[in-house]
Amino acid sequence: MFQRILVPLDGSTRSEQAIPVAALIARASDATLVLLRVANVPREYGFYLFESYIAQSPIFIDEVLREETDKARNYLDILHQMQDLADLQVENLVLNGAEAPTILDAARDQQADLMVMSGRGSGEFRHGTLGSVAMKVVRHSACPVLVLREEHTRLVSLQTSSVANTAPILVGLDGSTFAEASLAPAIALAQALSLSGPARLHLVQVVRPIDEDGSPEEQEAQRQRVAAAEKYLGALTDKLGQQQEANKALPDIVITWSILQERDVADALIRAAQQGTGLEHKERGGYGVLALATHGRGGIQRWAVGSTTDRVIKGSTMPLLVVRPAEAR
């Protein structure tokens, strides 16, 4: 389970939507929440940041930065009083610097094992404020990043809903150990988000189909690829189940799997997550989170996870858990 959860905030109500979800995870994991606000000189002072003006009046810039830092501290102090944070271990952190690099450095220095942040919606990260920052953080973070979306409120409603008291997670895999890096964080997240009943995790691998008029040899090769994917997911599911069985202290989790034969991997993953592929009765609302690793390895019928993840990030409107494998850092 998670121990230190970093929540970057930019002062907007949109970024604050990450707090209830992060608090829910922290409460289930007995983790510490670290609320981060990066304070900088406001953009309206940009004209004065040219070298000539800094040389003439460095004190002016210092005063503005101190004022913004004080505002950031006061802002976090106010958030600290939120009901969602009651009885939780919460730390406030104010830093100066460029937003994305500062957030990434903070995650490392604070030894965060999860970051929860709000992203922009409408199917893509729009430029400006936290939107573009979120994309940079997702691509380079050493710890898993849970990116929330405005259009998908299932995680936010978990605490108050009398129906949806769990958020099943879909994990996209490609048969590589790189892609499997998303499994441990996804399991921990699924367990933290299950307020009643067992946690649920569904593994999916996309195998690109051949043309309908493919030769007998091509059709046989395709059958072998599908069989190999089925064998891989079946063995992986058994392995994960044995690991969970060996640790009775962990909450129960149900792990299932399926194969999709689709040409567009990113689109297939998005639709599977939204439609609830693999869930009984195609549960309303689909999955709560789609989990992916940022890098994979090439090979026969394996998809390039890096580019696929980018396309999913830009094309999906649902929460994403993005994990960067240690080998790719």
pLDDT digits (tens, 9 = 90+) for 154-191: 676 665 544 445 789 999 999 998 899 999 999 999 99
- Sign (positive/negative) of CA torsion 15, 168, 165, 318? positive
Predicted local distance difference test score (pLDDT) of residue 89: 97
Q: Which of 204, 221, 208, 206 has the alpha carbon at shortest distance from 263?
A: 208
Structure tokens at 249: 């202290």
Q: Which of 273, 249, 260 has the alpha carbon at shortest distance from 303?
A: 260
Q: Is the pLDDT of residue 145 over 90?
A: yes
Average the pLDDT over each of 23-27, 135-139, 234-238 and give the range with the smallest value.
135-139
Task: Quick: pLDDT tens for 189-230.
Answer: 999 988 777 889 999 999 989 887 778 888 899 999 999 999
**What is the rounded CA–CA span in Å between residue 197 and residue 252?**
8
Q: Is the pLDDT of residue 44 over 90?
A: no
Q: Which fold has domain 4-148?
A: Rossmann fold (3.40.50)
> Is the domain defined by 169-328 classed in CATH 3.40.50.620?
yes
Predicted local distance difference test score (pLDDT) of residue 261: 93
- Sign (positive/negative) of CA torsion 207, 212, 218, 221? positive
pLDDT confidence of 307, banded at 50, 70, 90?
confident
Predicted local distance difference test score (pLDDT) of residue 43: 62
Structure tokens at 37: 């606000």
Q: What percent of the chain has pLDDT over 90?
A: 50
Structure tokens at 176: 């590589």
Predicted local distance difference test score (pLDDT) of residue 305: 47
Average the pLDDT over each of 11-20, 21-30, 121-130, 209-218 and give the range with the smallest value.
121-130
Predicted local distance difference test score (pLDDT) of residue 120: 59
Q: What's the mean pLDDT in 283-291? A: 81
**φ and ψ at 144, to 5 degrees?**
-60, 145
**φ and ψ at 39, to 5 degrees?**
-100, 130
Number of other CB atoms surrounding residue 234 within 10 Å: 12
pLDDT confidence of 273, banded at 50, 70, 90?
very high
- Sign (positive/negative) of CA torsion 231, 232, 238, 242? positive
Longest dimension (CA), the chain: 78
Q: Is the pLDDT of residue 129 over 50?
A: no
Q: Is the pLDDT of residue 63 over 90?
A: no
**What is the rounded CA–CA span in Å between residue 100 and residue 130?**
9
Instruction: Give alpha helix (H) positions in the chain.
Output: 13-16, 18-29, 51-56, 58-79, 99-109, 129-140, 183-192, 216-246, 265-275, 305-315
Predicted local distance difference test score (pLDDT) of residue 255: 94
**φ and ψ at 32, to 5 degrees?**
-95, 135
Domains 4-148 and 169-328 share a fold: yes
Burial 257-296, CB ≥16 within 10 A → b, else e: bebbeeeebbbbbbebbbebbbbeeebebbbbbbbbbbbb
Average the pLDDT over each of 38-47, 76-85, 140-149, 187-196 and give the range with the smallest value.
38-47
Predicted local distance difference test score (pLDDT) of residue 47: 53
Q: What's the mean pLDDT in 85-108? A: 95
Predicted local distance difference test score (pLDDT) of residue 186: 97
**What is the rounded CA–CA span in Å between residue 282 and residue 273?**
10
- Which pTM does this prediction carry? 0.87
Hey, where are the domains in the chain? 4-148, 169-328
**What is the rounded CA–CA span in Å between residue 285 and residue 115?**
24
Mean pLDDT of the chain: 83
